[in-house]
Amino acid sequence: MEFLRRFLDYLDGLTARELVLKAVYTVGVLSALIILVAGLMMRKVLSDIPSVDKLDEYTPSLTTYVYDINNQVIAEFSVEKRAILPLSRIPVDMQNAVIAMEDQNFFRHWGISPRGIMRALMRDILHRRSAQGGSTLTQQLSKLIFLKPEKTISRKLKEMILALQIERNFSKAEILALYLNQIYFGSGVYGVQSASKLYFGKDVGEMTLGECALLTGLIPSPERFSPFNNPERAKQRRRLVLQRMLAEKFIDAKEAEAAEAEPIPTEKSTLFASHAAYFVEYVRQQLEPRYGIAQLWKGGMKIYTTLDLSMQIPAEEIMEKHLAKYDQDAAKNRAAAPAPETADGVEKSSVPLQGGFVILDNRTGAIKAMIGGRNYRDSKFNRVTQAARQAGSTFKPFVWLAALMNGYTPASIVEDSPMAYYYDGKDWRLLEGATDQYAIDLAIQPFIGNKDFKIWVPNDFDGKTQGRITARRGLELSRNLASIYLVTRVGPTLVADVGHRAGIKRNLEAVPSIGLGTSLVTPLEMASSFSTFANGGIHVAPFGVLRVTDNSGRVLEEAVPEETESFSPQLSYVLVNMMKGVVQRGTGAYASRLRRPIAGKTGTSQDSKDMWFIGMTPDLTAGAWMGYDDFMSLPMKDWTGGGTVVPWWTEIMEAVLKEQPVRDFPVPDGITFATVDQETGKLALPTCKKKILESFIKGTEPKEFCDAVH
């Protein structure tokens, strides 16, 4: 009070002129302070506003698409699902719907709407909230691209300034195109193209008026107005958009009525559901180190692959159907078995049976189908490329090819007789003279119980021996002892070399048991190796990516088949012709119902832990494997794989090959054919009952005639 009294006394002492001067001075000082503070605030606001020049170079996070051989989308790599289109490819109805709903004066204002700003400001003051609303499309675009999603006065100022700059530097058409490609539509998709595919399963250019209105209605709150979450609310929003379009004279009443009657989507398009998940991951693992995470996941690349969905999809369905049936049968057997479950001497697995399947193009090495397991969500382990398992008898063709390289023919006689090996501390050696079980028992008797003396007595799955048989019959019947006999004659080192030249990358242990498939290999390696035989001895490396382009269509890489001449066409043909007998008369006979030339080999590893079948046509090689991830034995009493794997391999190939012409493996120059006796391998006389037309490299055909009637 004392201060106020003194101030009033001071004013009383001033003249009128002095009072006016004092008032002007005070107002001036206050105005200067206000201007200074406002200037500092504007400087702070403007200091971190990005340059709109960057809008020309702006590249949003784009979706990378993976295509099959027929340009069908297999999968996507994306942080945000998005595709960029020019305005000319976006329907006019979509453009008009957005303008009618979001910014009716878009083509008349210069970036901001003073009336809209004042209306929003009054609403904010009345409701005591931060600045919001009143945004033009240009303001929304500046916010989407340049600013953080915060609700403050300073951000609103930045938004308006940026909008003015954008309008000055870009045309209305360019601004509208940017907006329509940038706006968020829910479920991780951005832009009208990706939204159209998600909600309607179609290209944006195919959208109807009702669909355009539905998408536009989502913009303020995509999850809240989603037809998947709230169909009735989505319909109300669509109706509101159509009413606005009608009011703006973009459509007439009849069009609005028809659009409102359109059904709304009830579930997301299957376009985003991926088949071939293991193959897609196989591709990702190859390309991500090459191009980097940012380019692959945000760069909008196009990856054109070798996969054929028309082969992949039926293969997935058929394999799953059969393995699920095997699981059911195993569960029934477990339930019926006496406790403990190991009563039959075989420990049962508690995990689901797994499988792997792959198809290769023989000529190029292109991967046409790949199934790395039954469910990628449950297990991302790819059993085609990563599962190193014992090949079992599917390895035998490498032994037989090594024998052909050493002068054997399909008609050569091999021994399927008892034999025994001992380990001398350095190598496994054949126990000479031990050619029957009695002689073997006698020879090893002195060493039983000696820890320093190791003995190996191989046998066949049926516990029997065939004695002297042709090399062809030994392969067709998958005889273990015949295989070991040949390994002993040609040497395990050559067999390992043949395997590597054919296409196996892993180490192969050069021991007598190599012919029984004791080394670890993957289904992809086995299929690739067999395709070498079907391709006339030329190995082509398997590959999955044909071409990669960037988001502007520039080719970044293009595949060229990697060819290696591994074996002569003549050797390869003779082996393939022998392997045709496996399907015609041997362990893979189930596949003969395809009624076309098929060459292949069945296989079962030790203790039935792995079941295999690799089959070939002149054009394709398909490899199938089944087993348990925990390496437990399969409960089926199938010693060759012919009764377990071959049936579902055959059903898959029946679907795959139904449109392909039937043709045989081409015969190269230097091959001759002769009719031989099936049991002796000698040239057949008319009196021989079991005859076969056999292929030989010219000059190696037999010269003697059989001397017995069978």
Quick one: pLDDT at residue 293? 84
Residues 597 and 536 in one domain: yes
Nearest to 178 by CA among 69, 103, 254, 95: 95
| Strand partners of residue 624 | 357, 613
For residue 340, whether the previous peptide bond is cis, meaning omega lies within 30 degrees of 0, is yes
Residue 457 predicted with pLDDT over 90: no
Is 23 contained in some domain? no
In order of 329, 342, 343, 345, 352, the CA distances from 336 in angstroms are 11, 12, 11, 15, 18
Candidates 135, 142, 393, 529; catalytic one? 393
Average pLDDT over residues 117-145: 62
CATH code: domain of residue 466: 3.40.710.10
Could you tell me if residue 72 is inside a domain? no
Concerning whether 417 is annotated as a catalytic residue, the answer is no
Amino acid in position 270: T
On whether both 592 and 697 belong to a single domain, the answer is no
Strand ranges (DSSP E) for 321-465?
A: 354-361, 367-371, 389-390, 413-416, 421-423, 428-430, 454-456
Give the per-residue pLDDT at 537.
Answer: 97
Residue 223 belongs to domain with CATH number: 1.10.3810.10
Same domain assignment for residues 481 and 534 = yes
Asked if residue 48 belongs to a domain, the reply is no
660 against 135, higher pLDDT: 660
Confidence band for 20, pLDDT divided at 50, 70 and 90: low
393 is catalytic: yes
The pTM for the full model equals 0.74
Structural domain of residue 688, as residue ranges?
669-710
CA distance 77 to 286: 14
In a shared domain, residues 609 and 678: no
- Domain end call among 255, 272, 289: 272
**644 plus 706 within the same structural domain:** no
Determine the Cα–Cα distance for residues 343 and 21; give it in Å rounded to an integer: 114
pLDDT of amino acid 186: 86
Rounded to the nearest 10°, the torsion over CA 162, 166, 169, 174 is 160
626 and 540 inside one domain? yes
If asked whether residues 500 and 644 sit together in one domain, one would say: yes
Residue 460 confidence class, pLDDT cut points 50, 70, 90: low
Question: Catalytic one among 76, 78, 102, 519?
Answer: 102
User: Is 328 within a domain?
Assistant: no
Q: In this predicted structure, which of 52-66, 340-354, 395-409, 514-528 has the lowest mean pLDDT?
A: 340-354
Decide if 20 is inside a domain: no
Final residue belonging to a domain, choices 272, 304, 321: 272
What's the pLDDT score for residue 450?
65
User: Does the structure show a pLDDT above 90 at 653?
Assistant: yes
3-state DSSP call for residue 686?
coil
Q: Can you tell me the mean pLDDT for 630-641?
A: 70
Q: Is there a single domain that holds both residue 149 and residue 257? A: yes
User: Is the pLDDT at 399 greater than 70, yes or no?
Assistant: yes
Specify if 346 maps to a domain: no
pLDDT-based confidence at residue 342 (cuts at 50, 70, 90): very low
Specify the number of domains making up the chain. Answer: 3
381 and 428 fall within a common domain = yes
Q: Which of 272, 300, 324 is the last residue of a domain?
A: 272
Task: Examine the domain organization and report whether 250 and 392 are in the same domain.
Answer: no
- The model's pLDDT over 91-114, given as tens digits with 9 standing for 90+, comes to 999 999 999 998 888 888 776 766
The average confidence (pLDDT) of the chain is 83
Does pLDDT of 461 surpass 70? Answer: no
User: For residue range 575-584, what is the model confidence (pLDDT) as tens digits?
Assistant: 999 999 999 9
Q: Could you tell me if 473 and 437 lie in one domain?
A: yes
Q: Determine, yes or no, domain membership for 558.
A: yes
Whether 495 is in a domain gets the answer yes
pLDDT, residue 127, reads 55
What percent of the chain is predicted at pLDDT more than 70?
Answer: 75
213 lies in the same domain as 361: no
